[in-house]
Chains A and B, each alone.
Chain A
Amino acid sequence: DAGVTQSPTHLIKTRGQQVTLRCSPKSGHDTVSWYQQALGQGPQFIFQYYEEEERQRGNFPDRFSGHQFPNYSSELNVNALLLGDSALYLCASSPGSNQPQHFGDGTRLSIL
């Protein structure tokens, strides 16, 4: 049974570009959340998708947007990249309310 898978594993972009990160949730999970983890910090919540809609959002600007597809997979899009967007982006999935979230290994995004 595959866990949460994310692609790509690493990405290098320059300031001002845009990027799309992808996530496939664990089988049987319908809720997907995205987190940003800076070096030496805990993950910070970006947003959560359920039934193809954004249900909750953390304190991130509108440059961060997402999408969930009918098969529950999800994308995170970031526009107008800034140096400060360099981080590990984690996707987590869960089977419903108040269940533990299971994480993928993330996408390491570096902005030059």
Chain B
Amino acid sequence: EDQVTQSPEALRLQEGESSSLNCSYTVSGLRGLFWYRQDPGKGPEFLFTLYSAGEEKEKERLKATLTKKESFLHITAPKPEDSATYLCAVRTSGNTPLVFGKGTRLSVIA
């Protein structure tokens, strides 16, 4: 069974304090790893797709990386507006549904 585990469950950072969120996965064959951001009361907002080990994507203060077993979402010099839940999801073939982790709740304090 495909599994996605995110850690930590919650993370509290001071503004400007860089850190990383982890997403480890156990799947039969990875066809894509997706990162989403979800604000309270809203739907997940698409951030990145990674397809192969070694791939990296960047957007503003966020950088996502992928290995054969896990992905990291690095947050550089975070701001309070980066506070949200970050969700990781995997797809194992074609247009199969996404399998999500439980997310990491990030709080950035000014």
Interface, chain A (partner B; CB < 8 A): 4, 31, 33, 40-45, 48, 50, 55-56, 58, 90, 92, 94, 96-98, 100-106, 108
Contact = CB atoms under 8 A, between A and B. Distances in A.
Interface stretch (B11-19, B37-45, B60-68): B37-45
A58 B97 CA distance: 9
Interface-centre pick from B44, B87, B97 (highest chain A CB count, 10 A): B97
B26 to A, nearest CB: 15
Interface residues of B, number: 25
Given A31-B95, A42-B4, A50-B95, 14 more contacts: A40-B102, A43-B100, A48-B97, A55-B95, A56-B97, A90-B43, A96-B95, A97-B94, A101-B46, A102-B46, A103-B46, A105-B42, A105-B43, A106-B42
Contacts of A94: 95
Given A33-B97, A45-B97, A98-B91, A104 B34 contact: no
B31 A42 contact: no
Contacts of A104: 43
21 contacts: A31-B95, A33-B97, A33-B98, A42-B4, A42-B101, A42-B103, A43-B87, A44-B100, A45-B98, A48-B95, A56-B96, A58-B97, A90-B43, A90-B44, A92-B98, A98-B31, A98-B32, A103-B43, A103-B45, A105-B43, A106-B42
B71 interface: no
Nearest to B34: A100
Contacts of B102: 40-42
B99 interface: yes
Interface string B58-102: 000000000000000000000000000001010100111111111
Nearest to A56: B97
Contact of A98 (B42, B46, B95, B101): B95
Contacts of B49: 100
Contact of B100 (A42, A48, A98, A106): A42
Interface-centre pick from B41, B49, B98 (highest chain A CB count, 10 A): B98
B36 to A, nearest CB: 8
